[in-house]
Structure 1
Amino acid sequence: MKITVVGASGLIGTRLSENLRRSGHEVMAASLSLGVDTVSGKGLEAAVAGTDVIVDVTNAASFGDRAALDFFKASTKNLLAAATEAGVRHYLALSVVGTPRLVESDYFRAKMVQENLIRASGRPYTILRSTQFYEFISGLIDTGADGDVFRLPPAFMRPVAASDVAALLAELAVGAPLDDIAEISGPEQFGIDEIARIYLTANEDERQVVTDPSASYFGVELTEDALLPEAGARVATEKLSDWLYQSMGE
């Protein structure tokens, strides 16, 4: 099976491409660094020619203002048009758990637009929503920086290893389109403030975390369960403690 991975140079894309190749599939790696620009359309026709499946794991370079919206609108429209022209039989895209509840945020509003474009396209599709990656915890903590402390909300999340997300994407890519949304989360539930304390302690960082329910998450004030998956989500296996142990050794 020929599978085009769009965003192949990123955190998920690199892992996904490796998984698919190990399983014997032909992978076309497409990304801006590899000469494929989904916003302008440059290189896109060649990247999807003869492909059976497109896996869209692209992401916007900016999380604020209109940049994310402009990116996802242009990128997704171009990818869907290319998929139609090439007769691609499955369009698989990665999104974020909680997106419909977070549309006050510029970024999540843009992700909602991406999802809606895919659903309305008439193409056979699957959308996989994932919870926050362990690999992005550091960046999440930094959003709460306030002088010498971090102000973070206690809202719950179930973070997940990028490798587990990539493995499920590889499984979905070779299966029949769901024409629906699937979700994946990690095996454990933490408050954002709690996970920050665990992460900082593991990294011997003595800065303090202040629990602040009004602290925003990418511009949104969270309810307690806004970041939690729906019932029926795939539960990944790697625990935070195992991931931290492994990442500390790298």
Structure 2
Amino acid sequence: MKIVIIGGTGLIGSKLVTRLGEHGHEAVAASPKTGVNTLTGEGLAEALAGASVVIDVSNSPSFEDAAALEFFETSTRNLLAAEAEAGVDHHVALSVVGTERLPQSGYFRAKVVQEKLIEKSSIPFTIVHATQFFEFARGIADAAADGDTVRMPPVLFQPIAGDDVARAVARAAVGAPLNGRIEVAGPEQTRMDEFFRGALAAWGDPREVVTDPHATYFGAELSERSLVPEGGGAVLGELTYAQWLGRTGC
């Protein structure tokens, strides 16, 4: 089966290309690096010719409100139109747990627009909502830094390894379209301030984590369950953060 991965040269996309290829699929990495640009439409028709499934794991290069909206709206419209023309059977998109709960954030408002476009299209779809990735923990800490302190809210946090995200997305891609969402999260749930207190200690980072209920995340203040799955039906990853850190050293 031909599966095209939009954003296929990125963190999750490259893992998907490898994983799907190992399972005998024709996994095609599509990104500006391979001559495919969803914003301009360049190379889309050629990349999607003969594809049964398209997986969109692309991300906006800017988190500024207007730029994120322009990216997700334009890219998704172009991609869905090209898929309809090519006769694609299944559109799979990677999104974020809690997207609809964080309207203060322009980035998350843009993700909601992306999901609504997918829902309204004629193409059967599956949307995978994932919690934050372990791979981005250092960047999140740096963004929350205030001198020698890192300000984090005391809300529930359940991050996941990129490999576990790719596994869940790949399974969704080769399965029947859900015309709905699934949630994936890490195997351990803790509090965000406690997670980063332990992470900074593991990194040997001397900065102090300060608990701040008003600390923002992508521009939004968080409530207790903003970043964790709803209910008990989420697919859980296999790797804990300690195991992942031991393997990667990151």
Q: TM-score range by the shorter chain?
A: over 0.9
Query: Secondary structure at 2:9's aligned position in 1?
Result: coil
Match of 2:100 in 1: 100
Match of 2:240 in 1: 239
Note if 1:110 corresponds to 2:84: no
**How far apart are 1:203 and its partner, in Å?**
1.0
Q: Report the RMSD for the aligned CA atoms in angstroms.
A: 0.9
In 2, are the aligned partners of 1:103 and 1:112 still within 8 Å (CA)? no
In 1, are the aligned partners of 2:84 and 2:122 still within 8 Å (CA)? no
Query: Secondary structure at 2:122's aligned position in 1?
Result: coil
Tell me, in whole angstroms, the C-alpha distance in 2 between the residues paired with 1:215 and 1:230. 22
- Calculate the TM-score normalised by the size of structure 2: 0.98
Bigger drift between 192-201 and 103-112 goes to 192-201
Q: How many residues are paired up?
A: 249
Tell me, in whole angstroms, the C-alpha distance in 2 between the residues paired with 1:53 and 1:123. 10
**How far apart are 1:147 and its partner, in Å?**
1.2
Letter in 2 for 1:31: S
Unaligned residue ranges in structure 2 (runs of 5+): none
In 1, are the aligned partners of 2:54 and 2:90 still within 8 Å (CA)? yes
Match of 1:175 in 2: 175
**How far apart are 1:27 and its partner, in Å?**
1.2
Overall identity of the aligned pairs, in %: 52
Tell me, in whole angstroms, the C-alpha distance in 2 between the residues paired with 1:125 and 1:247. 33
Tell me, in whole angstroms, the C-alpha distance in 2 between the residues paired with 1:209 and 1:64. 26
Bigger drift between 211-220 and 228-237 goes to 228-237
Dislocated runs of 4+, deviation >4 Å: none
Cα distance per residue 1:140-195 (max 9 Å; x no partner) = 11121111111111111110000001011111111110111001000101212111
